[in-house]
Amino acid sequence: MKHNAWALALLLSAASVTSLPAQEAADDPWADFVPVTDEMFANPDDGDWLNWRRTRDSWAHSPLTQITPENVSDLQMAWSWNVEPGTFESTPLVYDGIMFLAGARDVIQALDAVTGDLLWEYKRELPEDACNGTSGATRNIALYGERVFTSTCDAHVVALDAFTGQVAWDVEMEVWEDYKVGFSTGPTIVKGQVISGLTDCRVFREGRTGCYVVSHDPTNGEELWRTYTVPIAGEEGGDTWGDAPDFLRAGGSVWHPCSYDQEQDIILCATGQAYPWTSVGRGHEGEALYTNSTIALDPDTGEILWYHQYLPGETLDLDDAFEHVFVDVDGQKRFYKIGKSGILWVMDRETGEYIDHREMVFQNVFDVNTETGQAIVRPEKIPVDFETPIFSCPSTAGGKDWHPMAFNPELRTLYMPLSQSCMDFTAREVEAVVGGGGTGGFRTFAPMPDVEGQGLLAAVNVDTLETVWRHEQHAPFLTGILSTESGLIFAGDLDRYFKAFDAETGEVVWEVRLSQSVQGMPVTYEVDGTQYIAIPTGLGGGSPRAQAALVPDIRHPMSGNNLFVFALPEAD
């Protein structure tokens, strides 16, 4: 165990918790609650959505088959729920008929998954200026034992009692007023540990300024290990930051939950870009490890076992910081990964070695080295001053941004939500002193040439990397993808449409227009023989929403976050 400084306190005064009165045992939704175990993550019940992408392989694929391409058009709204204002990109978790929902601004709620009735609510008291940016999102939470775990936008990791929402423990990772970093993604449970990744480390301070992955004991919040994603001088990889002092080595955010490969017993975490974004702003042209990388960690110690950097020295905020989808092909253990570059990487998850790649959208920034499996920025796309714009395709909306892919194992097909937009990017000078930092760039979005629409949903065969089908549309997609065993794909967009696609053909077989842009992670679950589809709608979302400037004809309300739940009508 590494003895890093950490604070642990029971902070009931820093949050409000509302619980319903006790119910009769026959009506008590908690009466048959069984503590969540590691074995459940490896083999979840068909009707539950127990993990961020349902299973540890990040397939976001459900074995449920009640809703089919033939009857999906009969879907009706079962219930809906209004959510706290703020950035809302959530993944509802459902376990044994209870839905656990992370709302905006670190509000966590337990709901009856059949009726939508509120069971309890945890509402965190936050610093006034916290949760206002991208880090205001809580993309997922975690269940384990009889607790709900969340990591907050003011840099705390918190355990809640699953039955009441009461705080079991609260660990402050960073003092918000000093560093102003937080978590935009929730924890992952690995071998009885709570694994969290820090984000938005863009403020310079004495010593380290990079982000890290941290492990906590779920019973008491004790920190077990911590691994920094940016090395300082003298550490392995530290020379890739040139002669930059330690306090100017920032970034390496962990924007998505880390993945656990149980067969290999390794944790895979994806890291984001360096801060400032541009090499001219950073003052060096080094690779800036371990940014834009997959790092493989020993779950017992946090030691980096291997890494692969996709975009060495990246300089336009086109980071590759998103999910790993595990798929075996002819006995080879692979993962598939795609980021803002729009390049789909195929990697060996035992060694981290490059296998193949496929460019999914038009890009004019990178040349791919097929020996190393790295995308190298073309010299003419590297900003050299703070006045001259660089025309870049894709834009910072992607390629693919934070919206995760899905995989149908029967069809051997990956489904990915992509964006077809470009940008004029101008580097911004930042103050190289303690308290400085920042992102280091200005962006003006521009249309991508020769495309039929800004939104693209692409289906790709994992064995051949051949495109199975493409669905282009005017509105950008703003959700992760949901796959079901019955052959359906679900996705939502800026124009308030939530759609079901035939997984084999890409045909739209159902759509509904909701009250707000459809944004977040759709999930499906079953209670008492009825299959439900749940989808968040909301605001925020960073660059994917900012590209709406390219489609000014698409109008949507400027307030309102909600969750909508659908089911088939009851049979007569």
CB neighbour burial string for 66-94, b if at least 16 within 10 angstroms, e if fewer: ebebeebeebeebbebebbbbbbbbbbbb
Angle at 83 between CA 216 and CA 67, to 5 degrees: 90
How do residues 219-271 score in pLDDT, each as one tens digit?
999 999 999 999 999 999 999 999 999 999 999 999 999 999 999 999 999 99
Mean pLDDT of 380-400: 96
Please, which pLDDT band fits residue 135 given cuts at 50, 70 and 90?
low
Q: Write out the residue range of the structural domain in which residue 369 sits.
A: 57-567
Percentage of residues in the chain having pLDDT higher than 70: 95
More confident residue, 11 or 533: 533
Mean pLDDT of the chain: 93
| Complete DSSP assignment for 245-312 | -GGG-EE----S--EEETTTTEEEEE---EESSSHHHHT--S--TTTTEEEEE-TTT--EEEEEESST
Mean pLDDT of 415-428: 97
Strands 209-210 and 250-251 come out as parallel
So what's the pLDDT on residue 20? 55
Residue 556 included in any domain = yes
Q: Which residues pair with 488 in a beta bridge?
A: 484, 502
Q: Is the pTM of this model over 0.85?
A: yes
Residue 52 included in any domain = no
Residue 25 included in any domain = no
Residue 392 included in any domain = yes
Is-contact 347 335, C-beta < 8 A? yes
So what's the pLDDT on residue 22? 42
Mean pLDDT of 507-535: 97
How do residues 46-89 score in pLDDT, each as one tens digit?
999 999 999 999 999 999 999 999 999 999 999 999 998 999 99
Residue 348 included in any domain = yes
Please, which pLDDT band fits residue 130 given cuts at 50, 70 and 90?
confident
H-type alpha helices, 53-119 = none
Residue 216 included in any domain = yes
Residue 16 included in any domain = no
Please, which pLDDT band fits residue 572 given cuts at 50, 70 and 90?
low
Residue 544 included in any domain = yes
Mean pLDDT of 463-471: 98
Mean pLDDT of 20-37: 70
- CATH number for the domain harbouring residue 152: 2.140.10.10
Task: Count how many domains the chain has.
Answer: 1
How do residues 275-332 score in pLDDT, each as one tens digit?
999 999 999 999 999 999 999 999 999 999 999 999 999 999 999 999 999 999 999 9
CA distance 282 to 202: 12
